[in-house]
Structure 1
Amino acid sequence: MAQVSYPGVYIVEKASGVRTITGVATSIAAFVGYTRKGVPDKAVAITSFADFERSYGGLDRDSPLSYAVRQFFMNGGTQALIVRVAINHATASWVLEDGTPDDVLDVTAASPGTWGNGLRLTVQHTGVRNPDADFNLVVSQLQPDGTTLVPVETHRNLTLDPNSPQYAEAVINNASALVRVTRHAGLVFAEAGLAVSTAIAFPLAPTNNTIGGTLDGTTPFLLTLADSPWNNIGELVTAATDAITAAGLGAQLQASETGADGGAGNGHLTLESLTAGESSSVMIAGGSFGGLSATIHMGLANGGREFTGAAEHRPDVVSNVVPSSPGADGTRGGATNLVGNELAKTGIYALLDVDLFNILSIPETFDMTTGQVAGVIPPATALCELRRAFYIVDAPAGLALATIGGWANGASQSRNAATYFPPVRIVDPLDGLRPRAMAPSGTLAGIYARTDATRGVWKAPAGTDATLNGVLDLALPVNDLENGQINPLGVNVLRSFPAYGRVAWGARTMKGADAQADEYKYIPIRRLALFIEESLYRGTQWVVFEPNDEPLWAQIRLNVGAFMNGLFRQGAFQGITPQEAFFVKCDKETTTQADRNLGIVNIQVGFAPLKPAEFVVITIQQIAGDLQ
């Protein structure tokens, strides 16, 4: 209601109550298994096989996952998530030292693997903003010829001051795709932003108040500091500044810093022997010394922008340093590693951190025994049921036509899973283009994605349109009679037909055996239900905490009904009219007063799914002719 105060016309905008429900993606495929490189136990999104090559090393003979991802994109996939699972891997690392030498910076490759062994590090002190405190770090990559180095990253004007915007850890760890750095634990910070090799204990009352220094690297001088004891680093800097002024050395120190030719000099001032027998010194270095604290940007007067010991503890100049500890690719883990730990979010449980995935593929089960596979399939199907995803199960390679049906019925009874037989054979670029038998899940995941994009998630990913791209042959030819033996057991067959080539010739879930008569026996019906569930789950979050009465129920019916009607118009349901295809019910019958008292609103959504025409029966009959 507008606030009315004067005669006239008032305009009031009122919300329509329409909240559009957007359908979620249906073909984001998650692949779990071993790769040659990449961050372990973390789901990373990619959108092409080129992304996979850059981040995970491309095809690898020991990585069934790499071939599955290639097949996925070759068959129409567009979005994938990769979870690398490897054991006994190691990360290439370096330790950079200062001139003392003391360890000052720990550097590691961005992810484990032998790929990091080809990285080289270079530290530069010239060409930086502040030659006495800053440094550049150059990361180079050794080329395949074993001799050529190509600079890939250059991080400029770095400092070890954590209060600086050019702090090495912050700059490199946020900008670099190749390395990660941490300041070595040996550095001790006495005050915020003030670093020394050994902490200074204040108040400081040295027995020797003199400061030894050089004007140009060769001419020595001596200053005597007064007003000790000093209670903090600020008082120490003030005493040093007063001593420079009293000795009349400000101009000389400034000239020393500038250099005879107007360029940068090498003058510096070292606070040494502040306590008897103290071996650790405090280095004050930087620009001119006209006013020590302000001019060289050090100390409390400048908020610790640079810190005592900056020049001492920055990495010393080195060129193309090889890793001190080499990286290792690691090896495949077993079933336990693939499954991982739910609390630690390793293995398949790394997908718990992902907002959405629709298809799960674990190609390594193809190379396992039936006993090992039995440790992978139950937790994988449970995860898919939790996240409303669909698991394409790769059966062990040793199963034959006579045993695949019994294995499938014992392996899983999940509506959110399907298995295919026989394995596919592809041309292997790493083996002289010879055929290689491999798990079919990557190929089928691509077909799912292609079918979703061209026809919709309600269309069975099977038939003559579901051609297996990139598949040279099938590991075992299957005829009609053999197909008829395992299809009623819920095993989907891959067939080869003249003219059409290799195709997917089945669309049943692992709950799809005829004997079970499950309402979700078909893959498209189950995946359509998962799509509707996830879309409505996300699209009705606005309902929470709204007043639970007829105006809310009417809005729910309007918005959910509009979403379902949109699917009907696309051909997702049976029926000629919307009333025959779906219903949305939310009123006082579904939500009783008792429910309202408990804060519950009940929404009932029903739909008439399109069942695939799995069996086509053509009846042919002769016409007797005209008997008249």
Structure 2
Amino acid sequence: MSNYLYPGIYIEEIRGPQQISGVGTSTTAFVGWTERGPDEPTLIDSWNAFLAKFGNFTWGYNVPFAVYNFFAEGGAYAYVVRAKASDGLAAATVVHAPLQFTASSPGLWGNDLAIAIENYPWEDTPSTTLTPTFGVRVLYSAAKVDQDDSKKTVLERLITRYIKNNNLDSAKITRTVDYYVIEEFPGLTIKDLKKGANGQPSSLEAKINGQSLFIRVTVNAETPPAPTALAPALLVTGADSTSGTPVDYQDALARLDPITDASLLVMPDTGMLDDLKTQQATIQQGINYCEGRTPCDMFMIADAPFWLDPPTLRSFKRGEPITPPGATAAIDLENALNSDRGAIYYPWIDFFNASTARSITIPPAGAIAGTYAETDSRVGVFKAPAGIRDGRLSSAVSLTALVTEKAQGILNPDGINAIRSLPTYGIVTYGARTLSTDPSLIYISVRRLLTYIEMSLYRGLQWVVFEPNDQKLWGTVRRDVTVFLTQVWTAGGLFGAKDSDAFEVKVDASNNPPATRNQGLLYIDIKVAPVRPAEFVVLRIQQQTLPSA
């Protein structure tokens, strides 16, 4: 109490109700390999911010594609956690004269690339007015493409799809070997080899490294080399690499621990693994991380394996022994994917890369995280991010598999969300289920709404700790929680004609008797009735015979 010592007017501020604010729900953490960048989780707000810190698109690793499509679909903020490539996983490299060519990412896949320098020395005698040009071609073995798919790795299947989707031409670079030209950089001159001031990249480096999906190049000279240094040659890579898990997720996920404002988790490289058992274990690793966080505030969006069909994918989710298409032996999986802290989507999508004017096949989780974020912002976390409007994937141009109603009938009961191409409406996510077998938590919107309420109350009621545990505190807490839940109900997140139908808040002597209070405990019991999506719309039409006049 203040001491009033002299006549006059005194001003006192009285603390009002402690408003509970809703937490953010759409900031996404992307975990995986990037070609450069800081080790600590880094918050970005655009694709250009990612480019500046972490580098461009690379073949074989999907974080750049996931982030690009996240922002393209309406995402606003994301954390990027750069994971290390597994031990022994190196990038294929070859040196030709002053040029060093390196695969854009580590892994055995780079050993199948080849580089050709075209039109050097010049086919025509250089004139005094024209500067002769040469080109760099990135090649891929036609024999690899022609192999049966069952004998290919995931990356070999993807590069085959890349070649066929974009109608790329093959070329006989040597007398006996055919290659597909998967990238081409023509119109280069000797001046493009010269480094810029203060060691800035040459024009050739800037062009290829800024556009190529498959290679990076370094000019190992400050001045242009003599023309004879670029004689025609076929450059074949040869890295001493080992196979295995491409990314060390354990360390990267641990670095996410201090981040408190990320709600979604995407690990877009899980689908690049050839071993289905390791793929399933890696997805489970991400789900386990979400379940083990304190408080439990994250939800994982996972990608189905690229090359499984619906029946085999269902077995993958159930943890049953499966025989992949084209294989002869079954694979024993150890565990089912069963959690309300994650969702999985099938199939993969093709998106159009405007910088190269070609389509690329990528896992869908990054784009889907963008639809989560956009729907949260426009409607609310209680709205299922699916359907012809909220599930529309504007960045997708095609799908790797056509999901029919019959195929979705196989997937949906097991919580595998289908991405479908619907006439008139385009490509949309047409599933809204978690991986859980608990009937009360099978819907993504219900799980995420409960998390939103829990985290908002968790952070909004921190002031209650160490307050006197009496009727005054109980009344204040009841009032503040009721105000917050009323806002959720009014917005459409809770079901009920009136607020008493939608939620109940209990904090009084009945759930806080003396024995409880003597232990320093305060129980706040809350019941809510989440809205659920109308997943099955049944039109019941009956023929009626009208009475005669």
| Rounded Cα–Cα distance in structure 2 between residues aligned with 1:47 and 1:467 | 22
Match of 2:249 in 1: 339
TM-score normalised over the length of structure 2: 0.67
**What amino acid does structure 2 have at the position aligned with 1:507?**
A
**Residues 186-197 of structure 1: pairs in structure 2 closer than 5 A:** none
Match of 2:197 in 1: 149
CA contact (8 A) 2:31 2:249 kept: no
Query: Could you say if the C-alpha distance between residues 383 and 336 of structure 1 is closer, same or farther in structure 2, counting changes exceeding 3 Å?
Result: farther
**What amino acid does structure 1 have at the position aligned with 2:489?**
F
Choose the corresponding residue for 2:287, options 355, 376, 381: 381
| Rounded Cα–Cα distance in structure 1 between residues aligned with 2:464 and 2:47 | 40
CA contact (8 A) 1:338 1:348 kept: no
* 1:415 matched to 2:379: no
CA contact (8 A) 1:426 1:472 kept: yes
Match of 1:391 in 2: 300
**What amino acid does structure 1 have at the position aligned with 2:302?**
V
CA contact (8 A) 1:86 1:331 kept: no
Query: Could you say if the C-alpha distance between residues 599 and 146 of structure 1 is closer, same or farther in structure 2, counting changes exceeding 3 Å?
Result: farther
Q: Which runs of 5+ in 2 are unaligned?
A: 91-104, 107-190, 201-221, 223-239, 320-335
Q: Deviations over 1:322-350 (max 9, x none)?
A: xxxxxxxx99995484322xxxxx22111
Query: Could you say if the C-alpha distance between residues 150 and 420 of structure 1 is closer, same or farther in structure 2, counting changes exceeding 3 Å?
Result: same
| Rounded Cα–Cα distance in structure 2 between residues aligned with 1:547 and 1:58 | 56
Match of 1:75 in 2: 73
**Residues 152-163 of structure 1: pairs in structure 2 closer than 5 A:** none
**What amino acid does structure 2 have at the position aligned with 1:406?**
S
**Residues 32-431 of structure 1: pairs in structure 2 closer than 5 A:** 32-40=31-39, 42-87=40-85, 145-149=193-197, 335=245, 337-340=247-250, 346-368=251-273, 369-385=275-291, 386=293, 387-410=296-319, 411-428=336-353
* 1:472 matched to 2:472: no
Q: Tell me by how many angstroms 1:530 deviates.
A: 0.7
Match of 1:564 in 2: 485
Query: Could you say if the C-alpha distance between residues 144 and 58 of structure 1 is closer, same or farther in structure 2, counting changes exceeding 3 Å?
Result: farther
**What amino acid does structure 2 have at the position aligned with 1:617?**
V
**What amino acid does structure 2 have at the position aligned with 1:440?**
P
Choose the corresponding residue for 2:380, options 449, 456, 459: 456
**What amino acid does structure 2 have at the position aligned with 1:397?**
F
Aligned residues: 391
Q: Tell me by how many angstroms 1:418 deviates.
A: 0.3
Of residues 10-19 and 398-407 in structure 1, the stretch that sits farther from structure 2 once superposed is 10-19
Choose the corresponding residue for 2:508, options 551, 572, 587: 587
Q: Deviations over 1:528-566 (max 9, x none)?
A: 011111111111110110001111111111111111111
| Rounded Cα–Cα distance in structure 2 between residues aligned with 1:390 and 1:426 | 25
**What amino acid does structure 2 have at the position aligned with 1:420?**
Y
CA contact (8 A) 2:60 2:272 kept: no
Choose the corresponding residue for 1:500, options 410, 422, 425: 425
TM-score normalised over the length of structure 1: 0.59
Q: Tell me by how many angstroms 1:377 deviates.
A: 2.3
Match of 1:439 in 2: 363
CA contact (8 A) 2:32 2:247 kept: no
| Rounded Cα–Cα distance in structure 1 between residues aligned with 2:468 and 2:59 | 59
* 1:488 matched to 2:487: no
**What amino acid does structure 2 have at the position aligned with 1:22?**
S
**SS of residue paired to 2:526:** strand
Match of 1:98 in 2: none
Match of 1:15 in 2: 14
Query: Could you say if the C-alpha distance between residues 406 and 570 of structure 1 is closer, same or farther in structure 2, counting changes exceeding 3 Å?
Result: same
Match of 1:3 in 2: 3
| Rounded Cα–Cα distance in structure 1 between residues aligned with 2:271 and 2:344 | 11
* 1:609 matched to 2:533: no
**What amino acid does structure 1 have at the position aligned with 2:36?**
K
| Rounded Cα–Cα distance in structure 2 between residues aligned with 1:392 and 1:69 | 13
CA contact (8 A) 1:85 1:333 kept: no
Query: Could you say if the C-alpha distance between residues 552 and 335 of structure 1 is closer, same or farther in structure 2, counting changes exceeding 3 Å?
Result: farther
**SS of residue paired to 1:59:** coil
| Rounded Cα–Cα distance in structure 1 between residues aligned with 2:246 and 2:521 | 41
CA contact (8 A) 1:36 1:63 kept: no
**SS of residue paired to 1:363:** coil
Q: Which runs of 5+ in 1 are unaligned?
A: 91-112, 115-142, 153-319, 321-329, 341-345
Q: Tell me by how many angstroms 1:145 deviates.
A: 4.9
* 1:524 matched to 2:445: yes
CA contact (8 A) 1:86 1:333 kept: no
Q: Tell me by how many angstroms 1:11 deviates.
A: 4.3
**What amino acid does structure 2 have at the position aligned with 1:2?**
S
Match of 1:100 in 2: none
CA contact (8 A) 1:522 1:611 kept: yes
Q: Tell me by how many angstroms 1:626 deviates.
A: 1.0
| Rounded Cα–Cα distance in structure 1 between residues aligned with 2:11 and 2:81 | 52
Match of 1:217 in 2: none
**What amino acid does structure 1 have at the position aligned with 2:284?**
P
| Rounded Cα–Cα distance in structure 1 between residues aligned with 2:404 and 2:345 | 15
Q: Tell me by how many angstroms 1:59 deviates.
A: 1.4
| Rounded Cα–Cα distance in structure 1 between residues aligned with 2:449 and 2:241 | 38
Q: Deviations over 1:493-528 (max 9, x none)?
A: 1011112100010000001xxxx4521110000000
Q: Tell me by how many angstroms 1:584 deviates.
A: 1.4
Match of 2:214 in 1: none
CA contact (8 A) 1:427 1:436 kept: yes
**SS of residue paired to 2:441:** coil
Q: Tell me by how many angstroms 1:146 deviates.
A: 4.0
**SS of residue paired to 2:48:** helix
Q: Tell me by how many angstroms 1:144 deviates.
A: 7.6
**SS of residue paired to 1:519:** helix
CA contact (8 A) 2:343 2:435 kept: yes
CA contact (8 A) 1:335 1:373 kept: no
Query: Could you say if the C-alpha distance between residues 62 and 337 of structure 1 is closer, same or farther in structure 2, counting changes exceeding 3 Å?
Result: closer
Q: Deviations over 1:235-271 (max 9, x none)?
A: xxxxxxxxxxxxxxxxxxxxxxxxxxxxxxxxxxxxx
| Rounded Cα–Cα distance in structure 2 between residues aligned with 1:604 and 1:521 | 23
CA contact (8 A) 2:302 2:345 kept: yes
**What amino acid does structure 2 have at the position aligned with 1:80?**
A
Match of 1:155 in 2: none
CA contact (8 A) 2:33 2:84 kept: yes
Q: Deviations over 1:205-230 (max 9, x none)?
A: xxxxxxxxxxxxxxxxxxxxxxxxxx
Q: Tell me by how many angstroms 1:490 deviates.
A: 0.9
CA contact (8 A) 2:33 2:247 kept: no
